[in-house]
A and B are shown apart, each in its own frame.
Chain A
Amino acid sequence: MAFRYKLRSITPQDDPRTLLQEIHPPGNSFGEVLSGESKAPQWGAVISLLKYLGAKRLLIQYGIRDPDFLEEHQAFYAKQHRPVTRKCVRIHAFSLDIPIPEKSDETAVLAFLDAAKAQDGSYIGFVTVRPLRHAPVGATIISPPASRMPTAQDAFPVHIAGIEFSVTGTPFLQQDNAVGACAQASIWMALRTIRRRQGNVAYSPAELTVAATRYISSDRTFPGRAGLTVEQMLEAIRFAGHDPLHLAIRNQLTDEEQIQSVLRQAVPYIESGLPVIMGLKHANGGHAVVAIGLQNSSAQQHQEVVTPTQDDGATQITYTPSSAWTSALVIHNDNTGPYQKLGSAPDGNYKLLQTVSLIVPLPDGIYTTAGEAEVLAIRAIVRLAAIFSGGTIGTLTLPEVPFVLRTILSTRHRFREWAKDDATLAPEIVARYRTHELPEHMWVIEIHDKAVFNPGDPSRVSRVGEIVLDASADSVHADALIFGRVTSKLWPSAKASAALLMWEDDQGVGAIGTAGSDFGRSLLKPW
């Protein structure tokens, strides 16, 4: 058996196509196909990303039994007359800049791996190369570039020759349209990202195709080039143990309103670290991408202000959702590559305006949506206003300064960690946040002073309260409110620097006033 590792340097001048020709699996009768001209832009995008991230050395690992490709092979390629190898090649990228010996033998490779392990952060990630000329990029996890940092990501262990490395990023995969189109690739990327956090089974694209077409099908299962409808995608996600939320994007009057509608519905989930599968209506037909991060600006991008109360001058409360600061989304697009930007530029090939639906693979038991949570938060803010302004001003006065609502889904553990570490909260409030009985998942709707809110600068503090809701409540029929907190920053006329915490449980509604009202920080990693 030939030695299965090869060390190679990589430079900015390296041509992706030459590299692909060089690494084809030895002894693979499909090799000449792989080494032929590949037009896959995904491969070029992946190699460009590795170069951008400072990759200096590649360790090429042959004979990889990639679980996803094995499933594809069993479902499709094993049945073909012409032999197609079931083994892939994996390329590991390192920023380690040490000399490479002329011969890649056991000693050289193991010495390199020992040196890489000794240097923190030298491992950049890996690309699995399928033996398919039409779809070489298989399961891939590469660190993100700093300018396109995802919120939906995880740390993945990688084992090479007895050494464990780790890469933090969002899994990427190019569709192999014989067994699944972009719909399956998007579902795979989304579910693989949250697999560890939500503890569900990881299905291959081939298995997702079978699951999607089990009950609703208008053609053969394989080849899967016809793609999937949204209904079939929902079925596949459900089969994988998730509870998919489907949000419709209705036609708005103007392009700007349409973009606002997409962002307003998608941003709370993405900010919560959940991937959102976006159905796009592209000129070439339906396409799916996975939104995994936000590009937030320091300045407000959209003039969206929401008035959920009667606009008659006597009864008016307005707020701005934090999505008004989002200029673009960070996406994995299986057609073009990982960590791409989906914005609103009119000349873009893929753009926000093409969005027709959003699918969020929620864990089981999230019955209140982000949109519903915002409405419930406004109700809670009016309740808090009655107590706060009643006690400090003497009349019911709604917040006197413009405010922003940032809506995120959090686990109780993350929320308590945040409370423990936020020195601006009064000790009585910290104690209650840390010890109160809480559900597993909660909607945390942060209230920010709009004059200082700046999501483009995470170090900026602007938080003046929060509403905490039970995410498992049936929002229409059950009480979702757990906590509500506001400070006098929302009522400058109150003069005294104070905060009010209100809570609701099976004993009724309680309230506590505390001194102090400093701006607090956001809950940046809610999950």
Chain B
Amino acid sequence: MTQALNVELPDVLLGFAKDVFKSLGKPVIIPPEVIARIDRVIDESLVTTLLDVRERERAASPEALKLRIR
């Protein structure tokens, strides 16, 4: 199975990411702008969105809602 995301990570993120593993056990705070950068990548890549899921789960047909259950 191929798992691929063809995106270059910004140097600033790589710097923070390497810090996390340089000193194991020590918390590192990731700045919001770095997280926002990753989230932009995700937003551009995801096909299935929360709205798709809501549409799939909630779109009950009137026929199903009126089905008499006895």
Residues of chain A at the chain B interface (Cβ within 8 Å) = 177, 181-183, 225-231, 233, 246-250, 265, 279, 281, 285-288, 306-311, 313-318, 356-357, 369, 371-372, 374-376, 378-379, 382-383, 385-388, 390-392, 394-400, 402, 426, 428, 475-476, 496, 498, 500, 502, 507-515
Contact = CB atoms under 8 A, between A and B. Distances in A.
Nearest to B19: A391
B57 A247 contact: yes
B69 A183 contact: yes
Nearest to A218: B68
Contact of B46 (A285, A379, A475, A496): A379
Nearest to A476: B50
A372 B54 contact: yes
A475 B68 contact: no
A228 B53 CA distance: 28
Contact of B7 (A396, A496, A511): A396
A397 B8 CA distance: 10
A286 B58 contact: no
Nearest to A509: B30
A182 B69 contact: yes
A229 B4 contact: no
Interface string B33-57: 0010011011001111111111011
A317 B5 contact: yes
A382 B50 contact: no
A183 B70 contact: yes
A343 to B, nearest CB: 21
19 contacts: A182-B69, A182-B70, A229-B67, A308-B48, A309-B5, A309-B46, A310-B45, A311-B47, A315-B4, A318-B3, A357-B65, A371-B57, A387-B13, A390-B9, A390-B14, A391-B17, A502-B30, A508-B30, A512-B28
Contacts, number: 209
A376 B39 CA distance: 12
Contacts of B5: 309, 314-317, 382, 385, 396-398
B17 A248 contact: no
A286 to B, nearest CB: 4
Contacts of A511: 16, 20, 27-28, 30
A227 B2 CA distance: 50
B42 to A, nearest CB: 5
A174 B24 CA distance: 59
Given A230-B69, A372-B50, A372-B53, A398 B4 contact: yes
Contact of B29 (A306, A356, A509): A509
Contact of A498 (B21, B23, B45, B50): B21
Contacts of A247: 57-58
